[in-house]
């Protein structure tokens, strides 16, 4: 029997394209991005109520002209697709084409260029593998298909894992770290491959399942090895086992749900980001807010990113 949950609005602020929540246990803070605003946000999560209070924003220059969901038209300026944090508190930020290190004093250094200058693409979702390596994918900003990448940052070098994607999105690993899951949103596919955490070496990519009703967006895994997938345009998060069987749904008060992540001291609060872009706020007043839900399971701890040695 499929379990049913309902998320509660957790933030007072509205984000144009909220994405990529990350829990930082050492500092008891939640990080997330607003892609369109080119911003990384920090906040405090109240695990008892699920409320999120924004505290700090790091801005990188937002877009001009706006977006509609995850499809960008006539975009000028910068975006921030994802963020990860190190044990020492440094951030790696996926700007439009490059990865940037932000140290604890706020100083910024370019780590690696992922995309060539001026291509009609941008960096999108990213995550840290079990050994502390950062992975990031790209998405097309036009109607090109099958030309986007998923790369792994090894030191300051980018190792390409995929180069045939259209909208690279959510990433997750099994509890043992020996399987990696990734999403290409446009064909609605969740991929699986063997993964060696010690080396980052991967096996052949294989299709795990497809979502027939809605576009899969961001993703995380729980401690039992099940996948929690945001359904963009579907107003929900789905929990599926690695075979694709639907185990639970979380209804969210916004149609464009972008990414879930487990947070809080016990990793038992599911934090969900949403997008306000292209949505009528009178019809969908929850759009762009953060939501939270208690879903009866704990998440996998997000590994800290390991910065390159200087």
Looking at 29-97, which runs of residues are DSSP E strands?
A: 29-34, 39-45, 52-59, 63-64, 67-68, 71-72, 76-77, 80-85, 91-95
Percent of the chain exceeding pLDDT 70 equals 95
Taking every pair of C-alpha atoms in the chain, what is the biggest distance, in angstroms? 52
Pairwise pLDDT comparison (111 vs 73), residue with the higher score? 111
Torsion angle of C-alpha atoms 129, 130, 133, 135, degrees rounded to 10: 0
Query: With contact defined as beta carbons under 8 Å apart, do 42 and 52 qualify?
Result: no
Res 122 pLDDT > 80: yes
Whether residue 169 is annotated as binding a ligand: the answer is yes
- Give pTM, 2 decimals: 0.94
Instruction: Look up 217 and say whether it is catalytic.
Output: yes
Whether residue 217 is annotated as binding a ligand: the answer is yes
pLDDT on residue 219: 98
Query: With contact defined as beta carbons under 8 Å apart, do 21 and 31 qualify?
Result: yes
Res 134 pLDDT > 50: yes
CB atoms near residue 4 (< 10 Å)? 10
Whether residue 122 is annotated as binding a ligand: the answer is yes
pLDDT tens digits, 10-41: 999 999 999 999 999 999 999 999 999 999 99
What domains, with CATH codes, occur in the chain? 3-293 (2.120.10.30)
pLDDT tens digits, 265-275: 999 999 999 99
pLDDT tens digits, 137-153: 999 999 999 999 999 99
Q: What number is the average pLDDT over the span 80-99?
A: 98
pLDDT on residue 42: 98
Query: Token pair 């064909």 is at which residue?
Result: 187
Give buried/exposed letters for 41-68 (b at 16+ CB in 10 A, else e): bbbebebeebbbebeeebebebbeeebe
pLDDT confidence band for 63 (50 / 70 / 90)? low
pLDDT on residue 64: 46
pLDDT on residue 1: 85
Whether residue 226 is annotated as binding a ligand: the answer is no
pLDDT tens digits, 193-244: 999 999 999 999 999 999 999 999 999 999 999 999 999 999 999 999 999 9
For the chain, the average pLDDT equals 94
Q: What number is the average pLDDT over the span 56-66?
A: 73
Active-site option among 129, 184, 217, 222:
217
């Amino acid at each position: 029997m499929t379990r049913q949950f309902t998320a509660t609005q957790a933030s007072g602020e509205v984000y144009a394209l909220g994405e990529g929540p990350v829990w930082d246990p050492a500092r008891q803070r939640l990080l997330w991005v607003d892609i369109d605003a080119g911003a990384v946000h920090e906040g405090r999560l109240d695990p008892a109520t699920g409320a999120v209070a924004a505290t700090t924003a790091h801005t990188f220059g937002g877009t001009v002209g706006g977006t509609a969901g995850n499809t960008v038209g006539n975009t000028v300026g910068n975006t921030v697709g994802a963020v990860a944090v190190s044990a020492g508190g440094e951030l790696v930020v996926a700007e439009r084409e490059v990865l940037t290190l932000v140290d604890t004093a706020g100083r910024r250094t370019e780590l690696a260029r992922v995309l060539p200058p001026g291509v009609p693409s941008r960096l999108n979702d990213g995550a840290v593998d079990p050994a502390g390596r950062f992975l990031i994918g790209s998405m097309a900003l036009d109607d090109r298909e099958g030309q986007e990448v998923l790369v792994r940052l090894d030191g300051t070098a980018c190792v390409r894992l995929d180069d045939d994607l259209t909208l690279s999105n959510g990433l997750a690993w099994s509890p043992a770290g020996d399987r990696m899951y990734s999403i290409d949103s446009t064909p609605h596919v969740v991929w699986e491959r063997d993964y060696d955490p010690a080396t980052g070496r991967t096996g052949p990519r294989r299709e795990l399942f497809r979502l027939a009703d809605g576009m899969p967006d961001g993703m995380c895994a729980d401690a039992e090895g099940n996948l929690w997938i945001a359904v963009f345009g579907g107003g929900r998060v789905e929990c599926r086992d690695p075979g694709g069987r639907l185990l639970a749904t979380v209804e969210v008060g916004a149609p464009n749900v972008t990414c879930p992540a487990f947070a809080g001291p016990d990793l038992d609060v599911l934090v969900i980001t949403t997008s306000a872009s292209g949505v009528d706020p009178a019809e969908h007043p929850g759009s762009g807010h953060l939501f939270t839900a208690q879903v009866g399971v704990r998440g996998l701890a997000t590994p800290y990113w390991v910065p390159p040695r200087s």
